[in-house]
A and B are shown apart, each in its own frame.
Chain A
Amino acid sequence: MTLTDAAADSLSGRSIIAAIKRAGIRTVAAVPDIHTARGLLMPIGVDPDLTVIRTCKEDECLGIAAGLSYGDRRCLILIQYTGFWYAMNAIRGVAVEQSLPICLMVGLLNHTPGTDIGQAKRVGLRAVKPALEAFGIPYHLIESEADVAKIAPAIDDAYRTRHPVAILIGRSPEP
């Protein structure tokens, strides 16, 4: 296996955390997700540069991030795709209809990296992209180390243009 192959087959939580910090994220509002718990939420929880707000339900995160946005306090919402569906009304009403820079990082539990999510067996997975497209929310699929470079510009763009963005975590990140 070449170095390039290894990079294509791995995803490091450390890289993702560095990317969100580069983008100015200092608050992470989250509901735990087994897909990202070890690689992201646990290390984020002990990172001195980041504050975690542990919420009970995903839609709370939308309100919190909206309030923070009025003070230009950058917040990342870290949830699973099932929580994305749960929070859909808040995503519509708060993020989209109010044109707020809401940054969603969504764990795609059970997605097989390298396969077309649009062909996933689970409707909850294969409908994620069409839902985002229907709402006009740009999205970025992160499955490898090379993809991590998309994260900081996506967050910066969301705040610059005051628009929501979704970062889809297609592989469970290593701690």
Chain B
Amino acid sequence: MMDRKACLEILRRHITDDQIVVGAYSTANDWIQLSDRPLDYYFFGAMGLASSHALGLALAFPERRVVVLDGDGSLLMNLGTLVTIAAVAPKNLTHFVGHNGSYEANGGLPLPNRAVDLAGIARSAGIADTRDIRDLAEFEREVVGLLTRPGPVFADLWVEQGPIDARDYAGMYSVERRTAFREAVRRP
């Protein structure tokens, strides 16, 4: 199991300025403490739809890599997204899932099955390039490939549950941040 922030710090070092990062809930809460880029997009509104937003962004901006930081509880609310993504097959989409076995943003209560094989489900859905990553050294070895191979790429990142603390969702989801994203994403 990985420390999620350490995992995201590895990711941050490899994200390039032109890439879009779509964050959701607890992973987003960690990401915003590590990164402050105009192309960081904080999805909200309906749990489970981060990867659907990312799919729309990937289609709208085919020249940019879109990296979605999903949660396991979120993905389980929208498993059909994996089938849809596999069918659309955007070459510029990397789907990471922070797998901590809990609904952390909702108080840390457990998933119905903490050990669910999300990479296996993604593979069954039709996504050929899947990884199941459980330690930081392995993530460090894999991360460049995950961000550069033709998508869709899916990686289940097994992480420890983070603290159940207060989160500044208001700042994360502000109109100003979305407006800045909208302007930045259209610049070449």
Q: A residues near B, CB below 8 A?
A: 27, 53-57, 59-73, 75, 89-90, 92-94, 97-98
Contact = CB atoms under 8 A, between A and B. Distances in A.
B57 interface: yes
Tell me what chain A mostly uses at the interface: helix, strand, loop, or mixed. helix
Given A62-B46, A93-B45, A70 B81 contact: no
A72 to B, nearest CB: 8
Contacts of B59: 27, 64, 67-68, 73
Tell me what chain B mostly uses at the interface: helix, strand, loop, or mixed. helix
A138 B178 CA distance: 24
B87 to A, nearest CB: 6
Given A54-B84, A67-B55, A73-B59, A60 B78 contact: yes
10 contacts: A53-B55, A57-B78, A61-B52, A63-B46, A64-B59, A67-B60, A68-B57, A70-B182, A71-B61, A73-B56
B78 A53 contact: no
Contacts of A56: 79-81, 83-84
B57 A70 contact: yes
B56 A67 contact: yes
A55 B81 CA distance: 7
